[in-house]
Amino acid sequence: MKIAIMGAMPEEIAPILEKLGTYRTTEYAGNSYYEASYNGVDLVVAYSKIGKVFSTLTATTMIQHFGCEKLLFSGVAGGINPTLKIGDLIVATKLSQHDLDITAFGHPMGFVPGGSVFVESDKTLIELSKEVAKELGKTVQEGVIATGDQFVHDETVKNNIVKHFNADALEMEGGSVAVVCNAMDIPFFILRAISDTADTDASFSFDEFMESSAIISAEFVMKMVDRLAK
């Protein structure tokens, strides 16, 4: 089995690369891809760069060029649901694009003809995450993740995203990765640890907690890989 592990920023995949020990680096379409054999499974690890376009390119490359059969995303997110505190883990049950807007033509936010407002994550991988959480004695909240090409640091923007999508967290890549995997029939799993709460202090909080939250998410994803390797 070949598994893709994606992040958006170098800090999101660094803890994963550390665990691999040795890996082979391939440059493709303007990005670096790190291939390794880990406990009997083939892994392809990469960070896409921030945003929906770069993450679409990377997810597509991992599936089409490298032949990955499952995709796990690890990274950080802004918390919307007040129950989510810095460092808490959230797994996406479904994802949307909060900045996809053709409401001028009577469509709901996040919808374009031929698509859907939400894309659901793979239920088997979510079940596996519950088992891993139980094993580790960790809480992993399930919820809706909204994705858009903006770093949200404003209560009004945040409240609008809640209004349209009832989202629990927001970030900048999950929704586009979900669209790619869904279209290509690849089971996917999006995990995020909270780095900020998308309010006026978000950029400061992000700078302070991004690295530590990225480690929390990466460590959990690697525990899932351990289970998938069994």
Nearer to ligand ADE, 62 or 193 (CB): 193
Residue 28 in contact with residue 61, Cβ under 8 Å?
yes
Considering only residues 162 to 191 of the shown chain, the ones binding ligand ADE according to CB under 6 A are 170-172
> What is the distance between the alpha carbons of residues 115 and 183, in angstroms, rounded to a whole number?
10
Q: Based on the shown chain and the rule CB under 6 A, indicate whether residue 145 belongs to the binding site for ligand ADE.
A: no
Q: Based on the shown chain and the rule CB under 6 A, indicate whether residue 66 belongs to the binding site for ligand ADE.
A: no
What is the secondary structure of 106-118 as a DSSP string? TPPTT--TTS-S-
Q: Based on the shown chain and the rule CB under 6 A, indicate whether residue 92 belongs to the binding site for ligand ADE.
A: no
* Residue 106: CB minimum distance to ligand ADE, A: 28
Q: Based on the shown chain and the rule CB under 6 A, indicate whether residue 77 belongs to the binding site for ligand ADE.
A: yes
Please return the burial class of 23, using the count of CB atoms within 10 Å of its CB with bins 0-12, 13-18 and 19+: middle
Q: Please give the distance of CA 221 from its chain centroid, rounded to a whole number.
A: 11
Q: Please give the distance of CA 119 from its chain centroid, rounded to a whole number.
A: 13
149 is catalytic: no
Q: Which of 11, 122, 171, 196 is catalytic?
A: 196
Catalytic annotation, residues:
12, 196
Residues that bind ligand ADE (CB under 6 A): 76-78, 151-153, 170-172, 195-196, 198, 202, 206
